[in-house]
Each structure stands twice: as structure tokens, then as C-alpha cells.
Amino acid sequence: MSTASGVVEQSIKPNGCPSGLAPAQSDPIRFQIDPSAFVKKKNNEYTLDVLVRGAKCGGCLSKIENNVSAIDGVDTVRMNLTTGRLRASWTSKTLDPTDILLKLKSLGYGATPFDPDEAKEQHSKREKQLLMAMAVAGFATANVMLLSVSVWAGVGEMNSVTREFLHWISACIAIPVVMFSGRPFFESALTAIRSGHVNMDVPISLAVCLAIGMSIFETIHHGEHTYFDAAVMLLFFLLIGRFLDAKLQREAQSAARDLALMQAVSVTKIKSNNVAESVKASSLVQGDIIQIAAGERFAVDAEILTGNSDLDTHMVTGESTPITSSIGQKIYAGTINLSQAITAKVLASADDSMLAEVSKLLETGEQKRSTYRQIADKAAKLYVPIVHTVAASAFIGWVLYNGDIKNAIFVAIAVLIITCPCALALAAPVVQVVAVGKLFRRSVYLKSGDALERIAACDHVIFDKTGTLTKPEASLATKGIDPIVLENAAKLARGSRHPYSRALVDAVGAGEVAEDIEEVSGAGVKGLVNGQAARLGSAKWILGEDTGDASANCLYFKIGDKNPIAFEFNESEMEGALQIAKELSSRDIDCEILSGDAPDKVQNFADAAGISVYTASVSPVDKAARIAQLDAEGKKVLMIGDGLNDAGALANAHASLTPGGAVDISRAAGDGVYSGENIGVISDIIDTCRQSKSRMLENFGFAALYNMVAIPFAVLGFVTPLFAAIAMSGSSLIVTLNALRLNLDRK
């Protein structure tokens, strides 16, 4: 079939069903879902995008990729854990794409052909479910704990009837709450077990179910102790983390969505009969003729056919000075047309444009980051087998010791509860909350907890120049010009969109506008100033000659018969930009500049800032390639940039930051946003991230020590519900207080 993007796509038909049976009889999945309509073919390669539901960790990702890759005929498999999108590609003409969905189903994951709207809806639905589960668990925790405190306080005084009555009330609250709020953990644990492995949700589910089961048994048989409070409290604490994680995942997807929206804008297409029509950019194919009005952005790569205009390319190439268009010039998607309408020929469909390249870089970067294992993940990997082994050993040991199965089960549950991952679950999140809050007070917003760990590990910083180290807006550099001349020139500048004209207006301020203003494409602006003909523009237009690089940063103003006056414009550096290399060096961090700007501008700034490694005129792909090279050398790169051409590099770096004025796609691709006014804040961010990592390690060390002390008590049968509750709360309080020490650290 033919698609809107212009790429010829063909559907792969299923190979048929064994034994001549109808699809519904051979396999319900084949009857309900036919992925062949979603398979695309390009250059003899078939691809299928699948939305995978239920994958939550790096272990899930590797298992899915390894098993799908093992399907006969599949060449490559890549999954993005953040978005749930899996892309499989192959060249075999005999492969049935339904096999991919069946394989995912056999692994315990839901799978359907990828639909961005469905993916967004699924994440939104999951977030709402977690919020509701968390709210219910929080309500139950408060009420059950109130009842439990009454039981603990009445030891020796409360009669058995009253105690049993309070246990039954706790049961009536806790049982339905556990069934409702525990579903995220139970479903995940079942999925893991069915696929032949365990995850962190397995011991959580086991502890909750055994605690509730034993508590019901004790209540029915008039026992003294129950674990209703421990079960609902554990769910409440862990659901807080799950809900925050779901919110962060949703925000992490915005980069791809923003890029898709940029490619979905409407453009003006000129048909063969010269009739203009509005179409989606995604429907354009190579050879189409489009018109780009002044102020519009190029949605695809194109070649200029007619029209002279000024073009703002700094968000695409990093070039700070606007360029003048010329016939036959290639313009990349994302460039802004500043002054006059342009007619251009489409050079590539939206799927093959520079935006598409950036999109692929973003996808690769997100997939790479989704494999990053946080400190908590590493700790959990050790926690699960150790706790299960200890609990099972305690059960067997007590059965062999006195043959009392009830007591043995009670001890095993005590081990699972006392070693419950509350301290482990809070060790990292509580530090992240404090660190993110500390940075927020410095006008820095980090989008994920693992960003703290990744930034802390970075030993090499790459800066974009324009918009990051230098301000994207030009500033008037010429001094000593007669204020009257400045005001007269500003009267013309107020009628122009050119960045230098805007800089001139900013320097002079609000005022009158010249009469009969006309903007001349690629030259400047003319009109009547105080009744005299006046012009403001390029050296070639005003002087009648092109002075080359000497006039590249100048506007010339001529009024009447007076001699032309030159206005020179310079870049101005961000606050702290000239000192940032020295500050980073004191922290054992190397830095360099990768910029799409002109070589002389990059060199001049690098020399002034004391940065010895720099590269100019760099493309988005080149930036990502440089990061890959440093990564292969063992470097952990922190990328800092603001433009569309930085988005791929931001996504592929070990960690990344963007200034507040960055384009939406770059802000979404980065790990965090800072105000952008003072680049020196980068040093503070790195310091805070390193301090937070130290606090996390200290918390995990305490959690390990706590378990070493608590486990023997539980195994020996000395743990009561009261002791378990105190131990859980005490361990959580200690890791929280340790995290708050971050606010006492320097900076």
C-alpha cells in the first residue's frame, strides 16, 4: 500500500494456518489481531512496531529482545522501555509477523501493533490506576494503624473480645484494600513467574498475601497478633514510588511526541494546476512543491525554487547569524523563514528528513537509557534471592525443630515483613526528592530520579555554543553613535523581523515606525524617516559592494544623502560562561564545545573561555557520533544544548541538561532544565548530584545493616507485629533523616 509519507509499504500476509483450519480455530490471536497491515517495507526490509504492555525493568527488556531475536527470520529487535515500543525488522519473505505477537504473549506481555494514541492512553490509564490504588492504600493505612495502636496500647488490659473485634474491623478494611491496591504488584509478580523469573514484586506480593492470610487465620482462631497494618502500610509506601515512576515515564515520552507534532503541521502545497492547498507535512513526497510564508517553519527538507528571504537556522544548524536564501539552496526541516514567502521543492518525505534523523537518534537514546540500572535496581537484584532463601530456610528449620507448621509459617512471614523493602524502597526516592527540591530552589528542574545518578557519574561535558554558552539574541556592539541616528535607524528596524533589527530596537526601545516601510528580501528594509528616504540592511545593498566577513555582523543605515553608518552586532556570553571550564576542571571534568556555528565564532569564544577542544559546523548526526566515540572510550558524557540539532545528542549522552529557552523537543529529550541565565549553575548541579549519590549509598548501607540485625530476630521467632511496625517505621525514618542532610551540604 502507499502511505502518506510517500514510502511504498507492503502488507505481509500471514502464512496461513496449520492443518487447513480457520484462523479462529487455530489461534484466537491470529483471528483477533492481524499485524500484517502494520508492517512496512522499505528497501527490501520489513519493519513492525509493537506496543508491549507489562515490561517494567531492564530484565524485562533484555528477555524480550533476546526471545524475539531468536524467532527464525528476525534480523534486529530494539525496544524502548519508556514508551513500550518494540521495533522488529527482517528481510525474510516467509516470516509471519503474528509470530512476534505470539512470542510476546508467551512471555507474559500484552502486545498489539503500535499506535501512539493507544500508548499514551495506556500510560494515562496506568497512572490513574496507581493514583487510585495509592489513595485507597493510604486511607486504609491510617485507619488500620489507628486500630493496631489501640491493640498494642491495651496489651495486658484489653480483653480478648475487644481485641478480636478490632482485628475483625482491621480485616474488613485491609482485605478489600489489598485486593484492589495490590493488583499492580500481583499482576507483575504473576507475569514474572509465568515467564520463568522473579522480580521485586514477587517477594512483595508473597509477603502481603502471606501476611493477610496469616492475619485472617489468627483472627478466626482468636490469636493475639495480626499483620493487617504491615500489609497495607507496605503497599502504600511502594505505591507512592510506582505512581511517581509512572509520571516520570509519561514525561519522558514527550520528546518523541513533540517531534511527531512538528512533522504533523500543515503546509501549503502547490498543485500541478497552481492551486494551493493545505496538507499535513507527513503527506508530502519527494518532488512536491510547497510554499513557506514569512514566519513559518520548514517542515521537510527542501530546495528553494523562488524567493529571496532571511532564514533563521540556529535551532537546526547552530549558526547564530541569519542567512540569506538563494535559488537551489538546500534547507533543512526546522529552519524558520523570516522575511519573504519562498517556494521550494521537497527533497525528501517527512520520514527521510533531518527531523526523522533526529527522531531516530531520540529513539536510540531513550532505548539506551532504559537499560540503565539504578542503584536501587542493583540492590533489589541481590535482595530477592537472599530474602526468599532466608524465609524458606527459617520455615524448614522451625518445622524440623518442633514440627509446628503454623509457627514456622508465622516465622517465615515475619522474615518477609521485617525485611520488607520499605527502607530499600525509600533509600533512593527520599534522597531524590530532597535533591530535586534543593535544585528546584536554584531554578533547576530534573525530570527523573536516575538522572541524579547519571549526572553524578559524568566526567566529560559537551557544550553547544549558541543559546547555551552564548545568548541566541545578538546585541548592539557599536558605541558612541548619535542617539538621533540610533532612533532614526530604529524607526526602520521596528518594521523588520530580522534578529539584528530586533537587537537594534531592544537597544533603543519603543518608539515611532517609519512610513511606507518595505522589506526587501535578502537585503534589508527601506522607508521614509522624517520625510527622507532611508535604508537599513546589508553592506552590499547599502554600499553597493560585498565586504565579506567584515560585514557579516553588521547592518548599515543610510538616510538621504548622508554617509552610511555601520551598526555592529556581537554575541554576548551567558553569565559564568568564561569561567565554566575552570570550575569543571577543579572537579576533574573535561569539557569541549560542539557547535553548528561558523568556525571563527566558535574558535573566538573557545579561546576566551579557555576551552581547548572544540568543533564547529557540526551536524546533529556528527554530535551523536562524537558522543558515541567518547562512550566507546569509557567516558560518561553530560551534554548541554538547546537547539533542535542538539536533541539527538541530548538523548544519546549519559546525561543531559537544557537551558530554559531551549526548543520543546530538546527540553523533552534532556534529563533536566535550568534557568539558562547563568551557566555556572552546572557546577552546582554536578555537586548536588554527587552528594545525593553518596547519600543513596549510605542509605543502602544502612538498609543492609538493618537487615543483618533484624533477620536473626525474625528467624529466631522474636518478631511480633509491634516489633515489625516499629522496625519498619524506624528504618524509614533513619534513611529520611540521612537524605535531609543534603540540605546541609555546601551549595
Q: What is the tens place of the pLDDT at every residue in 699-727? A: 888 877 877 888 888 888 887 666 766 67
Three-state secondary-structure class, residue 560: coil
Global model pTM greater than 0.85 = no
Q: Which DSSP string do the residues of 240-296 spell out, in sequence order?
A: HHHHHHHHHHHHHTHHHHHHHHHHT-EEEEE-TTS-EEEEEGGG--TT-EEEE-TT-
Mean confidence (pLDDT) of the chain: 76
Domain edges within the chain: 18-114, 265-352, 430-471+574-692, 475-570
Quote the CA–CA distance of 460 and 456 in Å, as a whole number. 11
pLDDT at 720: 67
Alpha carbon 163 to chain centroid distance?
51
Q: Is the pLDDT of residue 26 over 50?
A: no
CATH of domain 475-570: 3.40.1110.10
DSSP tag of 351 = G
The strand ranges marked E within 271-405 are 276-280, 289-292, 302-306, 310-312, 323-324, 330-331, 336-337, 342-346
- Give the 3-state secondary structure percentages of the chain, helix then strand then coil, rounded to 5: 50, 15, 30
For 142-170, what is each residue's pLDDT tens digit? 888 888 877 777 666 777 788 888 889 98
> Treating both helix axes as pointing N-terminal to C-terminal, what angle do 228-252 and 160-181 enclose, rounded to 10 degrees?
20
DSSP tag of 114 = -
Three-state secondary-structure class, residue 341: coil
Q: Is the pLDDT of residue 682 over 70?
A: yes
For 59-92, what is each residue's pLDDT tens digit? 677 778 888 888 888 888 877 666 677 888 888 8
pLDDT at 188: 79
Q: Is the pLDDT of residue 518 over 90?
A: no
CATH topology of domain 430-471+574-692: Rossmann fold (3.40.50)
Among 464, 597, 646, 671, the active-site one is 464
Q: Which DSSP string do the residues of 13-63 spell out, in sequence order?
A: PP---GGG--HHHH-HHHHH--GGGG-EEETTEEEEEEEEES--SHHHHHH
Under the banding of pLDDT at 50, 70 and 90, the label for residue 374 is low
Work out the average pLDDT over 554-583.
Answer: 85
CATH of domain 265-352: 2.70.150.10
* Most trustworthy range by pLDDT among 67-71, 248-252, 584-588, 708-712: 584-588
Q: Are 306 and 372 in contact (CB under 8 A)?
A: no
- Positive or negative: CA dihedral 426, 427, 429, 434: positive
Quote the CA–CA distance of 390 and 379 in Å, as a whole number. 16
Q: Is the pLDDT of residue 365 over 60?
A: no
* Most trustworthy range by pLDDT among 149-153, 326-330, 385-389, 396-400: 396-400
Cβ count near 696 (within 10 Å): 28
Under the banding of pLDDT at 50, 70 and 90, the label for residue 241 is low
Quote the CA–CA distance of 509 and 490 in Å, as a whole number. 8
pLDDT at 172: 93
For 123-146, what is each residue's pLDDT tens digit? 677 778 888 998 998 898 888 888
Tell me the sheet residues that pair with 90. 46, 74
Cell of 465: 555554543
312 is catalytic: no
More confident position, 559 or 336: 559
Quote the CA–CA distance of 281 and 279 in Å, as a whole number. 6
Q: Is the pLDDT of residue 20 over 50?
A: no
Q: Is the pLDDT of residue 435 over 50?
A: yes
pLDDT at 372: 46
CATH of domain 18-114: 3.30.70.100
